[in-house]
Structure 1
Amino acid sequence: MDRTEALALLTRYYAAFNAGDWEGMLDCLDDGVIHDINQGGRQTGKDAFRSFLAHMERCYRERLDGIVLMASDDGTRGAAEFVVHGEYLATDEGLPEANGQTYTLPAGAFFSIAGGRITRVTVYYNLADWTAQVGG
């Protein structure tokens, strides 16, 4: 996979996210994908990622814009920067109570890519900023 193919893969991944197409996102992932959750733990495998997406769908409604994608020349690494526009739908454990608050949050992600699939997703955003926006 080269840079162009890696960018196409990441474009497909984020298009699926914005369409709410979780299976489309999962199709971009390697079966053993590593998911580093912002300021949290590490999960491994598509099933864990699928559960994470279900949890996110229950608690949040999000749309990304201003997506800028980058990839190494050999296509093994990628990065994304974007703005999250969201609504906090249901209280997430350990976080402030949800009552439909909206938020706008800059964020980024780093990727490892092999065999035409994403093998690692590492997401970063400022949790303190999010918490302040939702009234925590």
Structure 2
Amino acid sequence: MAALDVVKKYYESFNQKDWNGMLALVSPDIRHEPNQGEARIGIEKFSDFVLHMDESYDETLTDLVFFTEPADRRVAVEFVVNGVYKKAEDGLPAATNQTYVVPAAAFLEVADGKITRVTTYYNLPGWIKAVS
């Protein structure tokens, strides 16, 4: 399966909240590089992150635009995060089901039909302002 197809299926699974389907598309040694904090290595840590995010946020991604490169290994995607902040996170504002809309982007690497890296960027101060 082409890298673009893997990544599109990954984001379709995300929007359907099909966490098992999403996790089935990542490598056992996935490297997740979040906007803030240390990288997570391995599917167990990434799976824990996905489940934690599901508890704290209800998000749907819209306006997805995908970019590929000739080697069919890397895919970039720009999107809009439409969310509800359900459960407070340490160091962040209290959660009262506030809604937010923030632009974001991600860079992914794919090998042997599995996502091996996800790096995500968004404007954290902008998100904090939206939920405050």
2:44 aligned residue (47, 52, 57): 47
Q: What's the CA shift for 1:76?
A: 1.0
Match of 1:128 in 2: 125
Q: 2-side partners of 1:21 and 1:40: how far apart?
A: 25
1:76 aligns with 2:73: yes
Q: What's the CA shift for 1:70?
A: 1.3
Show CA shifts across 1:37-76 (max 9, x none).
1122100011111100111011000000000111111111
Q: What's the CA shift for 1:113?
A: 1.2
How many corresponding residue pairs?
A: 132
1:116 aligns with 2:113: yes
Q: TM-score, normalised by structure 2?
A: 0.97
Q: 2-side partners of 1:24 and 1:123: how far apart?
A: 20
1:90 aligned residue (87, 90, 93): 87
1:13 aligns with 2:10: yes
Secondary structure in 2 aligned to 1:105? strand
Q: 2-side partners of 1:114 and 1:57: how far apart?
A: 27
Match of 1:100 in 2: 97
Secondary structure in 2 aligned to 1:63? strand
Q: TM-score, normalised by structure 1?
A: 0.94
**Letter matched to residue 9 of structure 2:** R
> Which segments of 5 or more consecutive residues in structure 1 lack a partner in the other structure?
none
Q: What's the CA shift for 1:34?
A: 0.1
Q: What's the CA shift for 1:118?
A: 0.7
